[in-house]
């Protein structure tokens, strides 16, 4: 017999406690199959006249309900089928809400998506003070909307504007924040959660109460005129943010508006229809596949069956921009003590100050307590020699980009650490095999490539060279994951994966610029395509000098298609390195006057007279096909081991539009033959840099896809 998910226990005080525990899952998730179980539970409750009140609580240690099992949507072939799933959820939650006895949700751990929709259908909610307790409706991040009443119940509880904010962003609130906006009724320590919920249930059903609104809030939400402003503003802001690339936010606004204007049932109807339609969109399918890919990746060691060793203590060489960031995530995310070595005291104190400034920001926002700040800072210690290195399990090297220096670092670590100590290099361009060339224990040497700013960028590339051992790979992957990163394991080679596909895309943007297109036109075109920033802004952010340093390496190792436009040397000769020198393509500091403005003098340095001749779509296509073609080449050469890794790497490392699912899913969507046709047409006009890769041609000929 299958184990029931819900068990009802009636206490002597006549409160029934429903405990939810989904067998075989570490977290509770809602499944369509539970509907029947809930139905029979409800009839059992209705028939038991002794029950005066109900509490629903999780039987798991640390999860209330983390969401609905979205894999059930993959079986849907029509919008109607998906809509039916949403309607079933609506029906079950309506029945819960209609119970004549009070029903209280006792929330500890994640209460997300369908989990929060269930809690919203309860008559009251109590949540624990624990950090693990978070409440939110993240469906928008999967290209969906909350399809089981969430778009209707949340605005009624917390107000239209707060509900819009929560549902449109998918943000997660801690219990105290949830209490402040009226989403939960009480916040208590975990030890008394059940008792507090029982007491609330014994008080009886709470009377309907007004949403907490200040004066302006009342004007905006309680008058038709005010509401019209709220919804039209929400639409405007959404379009400005999504550039029309994501259909879910507009449907969310529509569903909330329908419920406000036409009543609860009308709202549910619009919500269900929109849910069904959204499930079928390519955007939601791409976002869901991304979710599954990252979930699946978390289970992989990166080295087959080989298990990682635990990293008890780490060290960072170089406390600069990258070293400071890596030290920070090691202490604050992984909770691992870290020794920072630099050649001078300044480097160490810069790294310490950097971590402290990030922690202070979190303290101000009350994401951490003073004690936590002290504890995390105490994990960071500095040195200008190798004292305290003898028992370090893993060293991340982030010194200057210089092969001799990096080889010296390997020798120093081999002399000062144990035989097992892993040496992970954060080089952006040097082949790891070369860094390991003189190592006594090359099996311990690996690449661990972070992106700047380290605390924000989710991706790391783990680069195994020919002699890297499986243990070293597995341990490095696990270490990166503890730092909160998403690691992809890639093969050694110039530019690895991410910088390689990025370089061709950036070069193409530079070529278009040199044909006379204005800077703004380029940036606008690719932001509209779905990148978080345009290529020229990115160049200013990364540093024009950094690009110039990596370019010749890629050109030497990978061939002519990586030749960067020579005219760019003039920018460096003019002292333009980008934001860090406050001189680049855009104006910075006082000159910018608080606005994003192109520094028009850049055109004369480049000898250009800008005039827009191409459409945004033409610009985007030319840059993007270069990235797509090179991504396929990386797969062909085994730099990445799967299309999935290539998609994750591009989305998390570069910000490739998530709604397209990554380069490979995007190629599958447009068809390899279409991409080949675009490349051929550009090749005939601009030359061999657009020649399609071998694997892409094969896919096109066979009409095959990558997934």
Kindly list the catalytic residues.
Answer: 461
Minimum separation from the CB atom of position 554 to ligand NAD (A):
14
662: left (phi > 0), else alpha (psi -120 to 50), else beta? Answer: left
Q: Which of 269, 271, 283, 342 binds ligand NAD (CB under 6 A)?
A: 342
Pairing of strands 15-20, 6-10: antiparallel
Query: CB–CB of 386/393 below 8 Å?
Result: no
Taking alpha carbons only, the member of 272, 277, 258 closest to residue 89 is 272
Query: Of the two residues 237 and 452, which places its CB atom closer to ligand NAD in the complex?
Result: 452
Of 450 and 706, which has the nearer Cβ to ligand NAD? 450
Q: Answer yes or no: are the C-beta atoms of 146 and 155 closer than 8 Å.
A: no
Which residues, 441 to 500, sit near ligand NAD by CB under 6 A?
450, 452
Site string for ligand NAD, 260-299 (x = CB under 6 A): ----------------------------------------
Region binding ligand NAD by CB under 6 A among candidate stretches 215-223, 399-407, 578-586, 643-651: 399-407
- Looking at the Cβ atoms of 401 and 683, the one nearer to ligand NAD is 401
> Is residue 214 helix, strand or coil?
coil
Strand order in the sheet with 124-128: 6-10, 15-20, 53-58, 103-107, 124-128, 186-188
From CA 541, how far away is CA 539, in angstroms rounded? 5
Question: In sequence order, what are the beta bridge partners of 394?
Answer: 314, 422
Q: How many residues bind ligand NAD (CB under 6 A)?
A: 20
Question: Which one of residues 10, 42, 76, 321 is an interface residue with ligand NAD (CB under 6 A)?
Answer: 321
Q: How far apart are the first and last CA of the chain?
A: 37
Least distance to ligand NAD from the beta carbon of 345, Å? 10
Q: Which of 399, 410, 446, 628 touches ligand NAD (CB under 6 A)?
A: 399
DSSP tag of 599: -
Work out whether 348 is an interface residue with ligand NAD (CB under 6 A).
no
DSSP codes of every residue in 315-345: EEE--SHHHHHHHHHHHHTS---EEEE-SSH
Residue with Cβ nearer ligand NAD (321 or 373):
321
Candidate ranges 136-144, 259-267, 338-346, 438-446; the one touching ligand NAD (CB under 6 A): 338-346
Nearest distance, CB of residue 546 and ligand NAD, angstroms: 7
| Least separation in angstroms between CB 322 and ligand NAD | 3
The answer to whether 319 contacts ligand NAD (rule: CB under 6 A) is yes
State the DSSP code for 208: P
* Cβ closest to ligand NAD, residue 242 vs residue 452: 452
Is-contact 17 57, C-beta < 8 A? yes
- DSSP string of 118-133, one letter each residue: HHHHSSEEEEESSTT-
Q: Kindly tell me which of 226 and 320 has the beta carbon lying closer to ligand NAD.
A: 320
Window of 101-109, 331-339, 397-405, 563-571 that interacts with ligand NAD by CB under 6 A? 397-405
Point out which span in 273-281, 315-323, 482-490, 625-633 binds ligand NAD (CB under 6 A): 315-323
Which of 394, 378, 298, 364 minimizes the C-alpha distance to 332? 378
* Residue number, 294 or 383, with CB nearest to ligand NAD: 383
Stretch that binds ligand NAD, among 230-238, 317-325, 502-510, 661-669 (CB under 6 A): 317-325
Q: Which residue has the tokens 């597995």?
A: 474
Selected from 320, 458, 655, 671, the binder of ligand NAD by CB under 6 A is: 320
User: Whole-angstrom Cα distance, residue 663 to residue 498?
Assistant: 12
Q: Contact letters (x/-) for ligand NAD, 410-429, by CB under 6 A?
A: ----------------xxx-
Residues 606-635 contacting ligand NAD, CB under 6 A: none
Q: Is 215 in the site for ligand NAD (CB under 6 A)?
A: no
CB of 547 to ligand NAD, least distance (A): 11
> Could you tell me what percentage of the chain is helix, strand and coil, using 3-state DSSP and rounding each to the nearest 5?
55, 10, 35
**Of 64-72, 120-128, 206-214, 314-322, which segment contacts ligand NAD by CB under 6 A?**
314-322
Provide the minimum distance between the beta carbon of 167 and ligand NAD in the complex, in angstroms, as a whole number. 35
Q: How far is the CB of 611 from ligand NAD (least distance, A)?
A: 33
Rounded to whole angstroms, what are the CA distances from 134 to 86, 116, 172, 174, 491?
A: 23, 10, 6, 5, 38
Listed in sequence order, the residues at least 6 apart from 188 whose beta carbon sits closer than 8 Å to its beta carbon are 126, 127, 128, 129, 196
Least distance between ligand NAD and beta carbon 337 (Å)? 18
In the complex with ligand NAD, the residue whose CB is nearer, 73 or 550, is 550
Q: Among 69, 235, 401, 574, which residue interacts with ligand NAD (rule: CB under 6 A)?
A: 401
Which strand (E) or helix (H) includes residue 55? strand 53-58
The residue number with the shortest CB distance to ligand NAD is 320
| Piece of 72-80, 101-109, 298-306, 341-349 that binds ligand NAD (CB under 6 A) | 341-349
Choice from 121, 183, 279, 322 touching ligand NAD (CB under 6 A): 322
Q: Do 663 and 650 form a contact (C-beta atoms < 8 A)?
A: yes
How many CB atoms within 10 Å of residue 44? Answer: 12
Write the CB contacts of 127 (distance below 8 Å, at least 6 apart in sequence).
107, 108, 111, 133, 135, 175, 178, 179, 184, 186, 187, 188
Bridge partners of 105, per DSSP, are: 56, 125
CB 673 within 8 A of CB 703: yes
Which residues would be at the binding site for ligand NAD (CB under 6 A)? 317-323, 341-343, 347, 398-401, 426-428, 450, 452
């Amino acid at each position: 017999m299958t184990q029931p998910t819900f068990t009802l226990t009636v206490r002597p005080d006549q409160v029934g406690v429903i405990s939810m525990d989904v067998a075989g899952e570490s977290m509770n998730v809602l499944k369509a199959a539970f509907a029947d179980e809930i139905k029979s539970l409800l009839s059992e409750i209705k028939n038991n006249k002794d029950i005066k009140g109900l509490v629903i609580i999780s039987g798991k240690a640390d999860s209330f309900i983390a969401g609905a099992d979205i894999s059930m949507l993959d079986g849907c072939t029509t919008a109607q089928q998906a809509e039916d799933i949403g309607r079933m959820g609506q029906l079950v939650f309506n029945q819960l809400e209609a119970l004549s006895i009070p029903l209280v949700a006792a929330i500890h751990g994640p209460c997300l998506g369908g989990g929060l929709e269930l809690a919203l259908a309860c008559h009251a909610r109590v949540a624990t003070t624990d950090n693990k307790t978070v409440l939110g409706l993240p469906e928008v991040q999967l290209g969906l909307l909350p399809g089981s009443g969430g778009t209707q119940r949340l605005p009624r509880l917390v107000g239209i504007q707060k509900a819009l904010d929560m549902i449109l962003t998918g943000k997660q609130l801690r219990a105290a924040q949830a209490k402040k906006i009226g989403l939960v009724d009480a916040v208590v320590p975990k030890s008394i959660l059940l008792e507090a919920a029982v007491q609330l249930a014994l008080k009886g059903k709470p009377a309907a109460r007004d949403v907490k609104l200040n004066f302006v809030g009342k004007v905006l939400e309680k008058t038709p005129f005010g509401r019209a402003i709220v919804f039209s503003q929400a639409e405007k802001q959404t379009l400005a943010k999504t550039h029309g690339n994501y259909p879910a936010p507009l449907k969310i606004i529509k569903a909330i508006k329908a419920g406000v204007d036409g009543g609860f049932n009308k709202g549910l109807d619009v919500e269900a229809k929109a849910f069904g339609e959204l499930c079928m969109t390519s955007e939601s399918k791409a976002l869901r596949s991304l979710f599954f890919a990252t979930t699946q990746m978390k289970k992989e060691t990166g080295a087959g069956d080989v298990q990682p060793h635990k990293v008890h203590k780490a060290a960072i060489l170089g406390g600069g921009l990258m070293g400071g960031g890596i030290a920070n995530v090691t202490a604050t995310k992984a909770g691992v003590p870290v020794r920072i070595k630099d050649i001078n005291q300044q480097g160490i104190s810069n790294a310490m100050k950097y971590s402290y400034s990030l922690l202070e920001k979190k303290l101000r926002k009350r994401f951490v307590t003073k004690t936590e700040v002290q504890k995390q800072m105490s994990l960071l210690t500095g040195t200008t020699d190798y004292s305290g290195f003898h028992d370090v399990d893993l060293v991340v090297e982030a010194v200057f980009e210089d092969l001799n220096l990096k080889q010296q670092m390997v020798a120093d670590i081999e002399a000062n650490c144990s035989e097992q100590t892993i040496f992970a290099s954060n080089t952006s361009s040097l082949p790891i095999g070369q860094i390991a060339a003189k190592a006594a224990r090359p099996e311990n040497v690996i690449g661990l490539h972070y992106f700047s700013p380290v605390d924000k960028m989710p991706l790391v590339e783990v680069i195994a060279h020919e002699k890297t051992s499986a243990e070293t790979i597995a341990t490095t992957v696990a270490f990166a994951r503890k730092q909160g990163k998403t690691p992809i394991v890639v093969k050694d080679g110039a530019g690895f994966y991410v910088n390689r596909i990025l370089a061709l895309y950036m070069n193409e943007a530079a070529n278009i610029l040199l044909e006379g297109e204005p800077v703004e036109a380029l940036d606008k075109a690719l932001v509209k395509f779905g990148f978080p920033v345009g290529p020229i802004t990115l160049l200013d952010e990364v540093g024009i000098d950094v690009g110039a340093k990596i370019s010749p390496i890629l050109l030497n190792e990978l061939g002519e298609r990586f030749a960067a436009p020579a005219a760019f040397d003039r920018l460096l000769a003019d002292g333009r390195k980008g934001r860090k020198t406050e001189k680049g393509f855009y104006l910075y500091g006082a000159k910018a006057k608080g606005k994003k403005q192109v520094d028009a003098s850049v055109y004369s340095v480049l000898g250009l007279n800008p005039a827009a001749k191409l459409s945004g779509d033409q610009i985007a296509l030319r840059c993007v096909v270069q990235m797509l073609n090179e991504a396929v080449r990386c797969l062909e050469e085994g730099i990445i081991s799967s299309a999935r890794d290539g998609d994750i790497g591009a989305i998390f490392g570069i910000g490739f539009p998530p709604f397209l699912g990554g380069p490979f899913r995007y190629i599958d969507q447009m068809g390899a033959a279409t991409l080949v046709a675009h490349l051929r047409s550009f090749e005939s006009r601009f030359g061999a840099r657009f020649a399609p890769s071998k694997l892409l041609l094969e896919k096109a000929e066979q009409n095959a896809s990558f997934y």
